[in-house]
Structure 1
Amino acid sequence: MESLLYTAEVPFEAARRVGRGWHGHSFRLRVRAAPDGGAADPDALADACARVTAPFDYTLLNERLEDPADDRLLDELGRCLRTAGVTPRRLALRSAPDRGVGRGEVDWAWRAFRFEAAHRLPYVPEGHPCGRMHGHGYLVVLEATGADAEGLGAAWAPLGEALDRACLNDFLDNPTSELIAVWLWEQLRPRCPGLTRLHVHETEHSGCTYDGEQHTIWKAQRFEAATCVSGPGNRRGRLHGHGYRLRVHVTAPLDRVLGWTLDYGDVKAAFAPVRQALDHQRLDAIAGLEAGDVASLAAWVARSAHQRLPELHRVDCYERDGVGAIAWPD
């Protein structure tokens, strides 16, 4: 297993003709690479991505590619990255806010769907807010091999019609994010045999991933801090600051009574001391963070959080939109 990856994403605008006439897209290239993958740090990875996408920005893709479909475009961008000396571990291209393709250990297409629904959790402790009837704007993301956005849309359509503006307790006795994911998997897999993962976002700050066997939940966190990156002779060597964003991922067995792996609130509470140690602080003055860079920060957070949250799987740490590092505990 990796212990650290750099991650970066860059946008570009382009038009193309694929089947249904000329149209335009706000594309977004997302890349993960190991520290020995040709980029010195996440900023260098972002710079490499920007150089690779620049020739495609504000162009007609059909003039550059015989077939500018998502997967062909991503393959070309990956080839350009490798030519530039960067070896990506994972590549993804978002061609619209609700769809895209990826390359990694497997090739996949993804599509996102929203529905608005009510629910209550009947087995939580007395006084828990989720025991009251309430609601969410759910986001479900499907990932599948051998599929495309249209196929994923066809597989989802009857479920979306049934779930939107509905009460989830009419479908499930205990509609936690984890059990919703299992139910969706069981409904979708016969219609979409290539389904590999699905994500259920209960809010913008919490969600669950399920691959047919294992659940991983995540909780978003944020803190504000100053830093000074040692070494480089550029602006990062000056004292500056970021609004850091974190995703704390947790993998644990499903509690058969409560229907979840862990309570999102318990994850937040367990992580709180780590966040408090960083929030409104100068990071390069903290023991173990003298380097001041986001990769060192991600590794430090993973080690520190794992001591308080043994179920921790990984930590995603971003210092700006899409640019940061992913760390796993030792």
Structure 2
Amino acid sequence: MSPHPASSTRVAVSDLARGRYCIGDGSFSFAAAHHLADLPDFENKAGRPHGHTFTVEVELIDAELRAPGFVADYAELAPVGEYLKRELDHRDLNALFTFDTTTDALAQHITAWFLAHMPPERGKQLHAIHVGLSSATGAHQHVDDESFTFEAAHHLEGLPDGHKCGRPHGHSYRVDLRLDPQTNPRRRARLRSLLAVYLDRHLDYRDLNAVLAFQPTSELLAEHLYACILDQASTRDAAAVLAVRVWESPRRWAEFAQDERSGR
């Protein structure tokens, strides 16, 4: 692996095939009761009145980023949480809705609300809404991911006055390297080593603003790590890389992949 510093280890966006950025916010939840009317209790316990802590993850997708390097500011998704707390939290869902309140049906309902009430720009970016039970939604991992962690500080410039991300702060980052399922163990090990060494030498226990030549948003960080791998791997090894996902918290992530490799 080349020992050059992080600030020079990068491939320009223009050097990559057209890519796509995706972010996920799984920080939303609501506690509610329900039962599934089409399932008699002697056949399935979900037919009996019961309850869950439902979790909700919103995914947005775009081919371009807005300043300072976002698909969207996570704060712009706050109305979703407000709606869930106001209308669904600590309620009996069967008293609210005429449809059978499966997680898929609830996801469809929240999607319809999102498209009707969120700004049109966010609606155009909406990729999916997932509803799960307890911790089932959020920090899930694809079976073909290779995962890494690093500890780092950063801040973002160009944000409104008072925005908390404009202050120096830090995250325990997780990076998922998504590889083609057919990747053989030796190729997987080489790619894993490239990313592990880069993170350890250049990003772990660092101030990202001091070592990277761009705004260290999770979106741009995911793109940077993707480009670094392609820059340093052989052509055959690089072909196995599908995406890089960066988690800045257990329930918020950003991902970069090239369009032709998008297999979500």
TM-score, structure 2 normalization: 0.70
CA 1:82–1:207: 2 relative to 1, 3 Å? closer
Q: Is the 8 A contact 1:312 1:329 kept in 2?
A: no
Of the three residues 96, 108, 119, the one matched with 1:64 is 96
Residue equivalent to 1:177: none
Q: Which moved more, 1:78-87 or 1:45-54?
A: 45-54
Q: Partner residue of 2:169? A: 240
| Displacement after TM superposition at 1:42 (Å) | 4.7
**CA RMSD, Structure 1 to Structure 2 (Å):** 2.9
The residue number in structure 1 matching 2:30 is 12
Specify the alignment match of 2:204 in structure 1: 279
Given that residues 245 and 319 in structure 1 are in contact (C-alpha distance below 8 angstroms), is that contact kept between their aligned partners in structure 2? yes
Residue number in structure 2 paired with 1:306: 230
Structure (1/2) with the larger strand percentage: 1
Deviation at 1:12, TM superposition (A): 2.0
Contact 2:61 2:71 in 1 (8 A): no
Partner of 2:72: 41
Aligned pairs (5 A) from 1:1-330: 2-9=19-26, 10-19=28-37, 20-35=47-62, 41-44=72-75, 46-54=77-85, 55-67=87-99, 68-83=101-116, 84-85=118-119, 86-87=122-123, 88-95=126-133, 208=143, 217-232=144-159, 233=161, 234-251=163-180, 253=182, 260=184, 262=186, 264-276=188-200, 277-289=202-214, 291-309=215-233, 310=238, 311-329=240-258
Aligned-pair CA distance for 1:40 = 5.6
Aligned partner of 1:142 in structure 2 is none
Q: 1:320 to 1:49 in 2, by over 3 A?
A: farther
- Point out where structure 1 has 5 or more consecutive residues left out of the alignment: 101-203, 209-216, 255-259
Relative to structure 1, the CA distance from residue 2 to residue 48 in structure 2 (aligned partners, 3 Å threshold; closer, same or farther) is farther
Question: In structure 2, what is the Cα distance between the partners aligned to 1:248 and 1:13?
Answer: 33
The separation in 2 between residues aligned to 1:50 and 1:205, in whole angstroms, is 20
Aligned to 1:34, what secondary structure does the other structure show?
A: strand
Distance 2:250 2:152 in 1: 16
Instruction: Report if aligned partners of 2:23, 2:59 keep a CA contact under 8 Å in 1.
Output: yes
CA deviations on 1:57-92 (whole Å, 9 max, x unpaired) are 222112221122222211110011112123211221
TM-score computed with the length of structure 1 as normaliser: 0.57
Moved over 4 A (4+): 35-40, 204-207, 261-264
Identity of aligned residues (%): 18
For structure 2, the residue ranges without an aligned partner over 5 or more in a row are 1-17, 38-46, 260-264
Name the SS for the 1:89 alignment partner: strand
Q: Would the aligned equivalents of 1:29 and 1:49 in 2 still touch at CA under 8 Å?
A: no
Distance 1:268 1:283 in 2: 21
Q: Which residue of 2 aligns with 1:125?
A: none
Q: Flag the 1:319–1:97 CA change in 2: closer, same or farther, 3 A.
A: closer
Describe the shift of the 1:317–1:274 C-alpha distance in structure 2 as closer, same or farther (beyond 3 A): same
Decide whether aligned partners of structure 1 residues 15 and 205 sit closer, same or farther in structure 2, where only a CA change above 3 A counts: closer
Q: Which has the higher helix share?
A: 2
For these two proteins, the number of residue pairs brought into alignment is: 212
Counterpart for residue 136 of structure 1: none
**Contact 1:242/1:319, CA 8 A, preserved across alignment:** yes
User: CA–CA distance in 1 between the matches of 2:219 and 2:249?
Assistant: 13
The question of whether the paired residues in 2 share the 8 Å contact of 1:46 and 1:323 is answered with no
Higher relative contact order (CA 8 A, sep 6+): 2
Deviations 1:184-219 (A, max 9, x none): xxxxxxxxxxxxxxxxxxxx99863xxxxxxxx210
The AA in structure 1 aligned to 2:178 is H
